[in-house]
Amino acid sequence: MPASDVPAAACVGMPENAGEMVSSAVRADPAVIGAMRLDLASEAPEYHQQLREALYGDVEPTVADADAALLTSDSPVGVAMDTTTLTRDGWGSVPRTYVVCSRDVALRPRLQQKFIDDADAAFPDNPTSVVTLDSSHSPFLSMPQQVADIVTKLA
């Protein structure tokens, strides 16, 4: 949920995201190759452990492994490099709910809060509804019922 005219990719290096564990796992410059390249074929157990902690910290290991097997080594970054200009009549008029993952080390909670604060500052008449889960980056895998309950209440 980057602010207007801020590329999502720029958020990775923001001070509020200090301590994130994904960027050091990326194996090439996304701006050069047009993808976020992970070395999923790596034989280094510490590399796979880093990915597991970054993406699946509180997910049961067999579920994490099954999900990791669905990842691709090159995820396109075009959308993350582009910006969007948010307008009051467009995005600013839509009700938003942000699910903060309090133990996320891929997208740190301070950065998540910055997204919320920036959105609320831009559109103060449409505050963000916030739900906090005591989860890592993938609550849809570690606590699917809680995520389903949040989504169901939005309908």
**Domains in the chain: boundaries:** 11-81, 87-154
- Is residue 67 pLDDT above 90, yes or no? yes
Position 64 scores a pLDDT of: 95
- Is residue 141 pLDDT above 90, yes or no? yes
Residue 31 pLDDT grade (very low, low, confident, very high; cuts 50, 70, 90) = confident
Give long-range contacts, CB 8 A cutoff, 24+ apart: 89-93. Answer: 91/123, 92/122, 92/123, 92/126, 93/126
- In tens, the pLDDT along 33-58 reads 999 999 999 999 999 999 999 999 99
What phi, psi does 18 have (nearest 5°)? -55, 135
- Is residue 79 pLDDT above 90, yes or no? no
- In tens, the pLDDT along 109-127 reads 999 999 999 999 999 999 9
What phi, psi does 116 have (nearest 5°)? -65, -50
